[in-house]
Amino acid sequence: MKPDFNFEISHFQSSNTVNGCPSKNQPEYAFIGRSNVGKSSLINSILGKKVAFTSSKPGKTQLINHFEVNKKWWLVDLPGYGYAKISKQKRKEIIDRADNYFQKRGIQLVAVFFLIDIRIKPQKIDLEKMEWLVNNNIYFIRTFTKCDKLSVDKIKKHVESYNRCMKQKNWNKVPETIITSSKNKIGKKEIVQKIEQLNNQYFDFLSKTT
């Protein structure tokens, strides 16, 4: 079925802590990855509106930002990790904020889009974070970004070599993957379809348990 791209932002909320996040029990989808990987840009590309702040300088997003879509579900823009040009204490505060969000948010956090810049070879910090998500039972989709920067052939080769690296590191199954570019809207349809499918499962589950 063709996805519906008609999105209205019905509410926006910026939170300092996980306890301050919206409490409507609606499904949400978080975007994480290293600073500057393109989280905020991908959210804007999916929604077809400039709602999340983007910057060519890493470290732009520092809080937990919730965008309510069509009064029904949410996209969550989080601070990136691996950003070096802030004090150690500030960096720890930001990382703790995001980690706390993942560990305490509960079932309404339906899925995570884990962003990786397609041009960069596998980084220890990314591999460790993906492992951390698995160990915390958080479902994620590996999402390569900035794919407009490479040819189709190079994208294919990069993904294959990333997969080989993960297998060498004892991943017995490579994660579900989406190739994206915010610049030319590659992958937008796949992401929206995935969200629609997961929304249906979430509301189906809720209707059976409440």
For residues 77-96, which are near ligand GTP according to CB under 6 A? Answer: 79-80
Single residue of 18, 26, 29, 41 touching ligand GTP by CB under 6 A: 41
Q: What are the φ and ψ backbone dihedral angles of 145, each rounded to 5 degrees? A: -115, 170
Asked if 146 is part of the footprint of ligand GTP (rule: CB under 6 A), the reply reads yes
Stretch that binds ligand GTP, among 21-29, 36-44, 128-136, 157-165 (CB under 6 A): 36-44
Q: Is the dihedral of CA 181, 39, 2, 202 positive or negative?
A: positive
Could you tell me the smallest distance in angstroms from the CB atom of residue 83 to Mg ion?
10
| Separation between Cα atoms, residue 7 and residue 22, nearest integer Å | 19
What element of type H or E holds 39? Answer: helix 39-47
| Separation between Cα atoms, residue 62 and residue 6, nearest integer Å | 28
CA dihedral 34, 10, 27, 147 (to 10 degrees): -30
Stretch that binds Mg ion, among 54-62, 65-73, 105-113, 196-204 (CB under 5 A): 54-62
Stretch that binds ligand GTP, among 48-56, 90-98, 165-173, 192-200 (CB under 6 A): 48-56
What residue 145 binds from Mg ion, ligand GTP, none (CB within 5 to 8 A, per partner kind)? ligand GTP
Contact between 194 and 140 under an 8 Å Cβ cutoff? The reply is no
Contact between 114 and 89 under an 8 Å Cβ cutoff? The reply is no
Single residue of 26, 36, 40, 181 touching Mg ion by CB under 5 A: 40
Binding site for ligand GTP (CB under 6 A): 35-41, 54-56, 58-61, 79-80, 145-146, 148-149, 181-183
Binding site for Mg ion (CB under 5 A): 39-40, 60-61
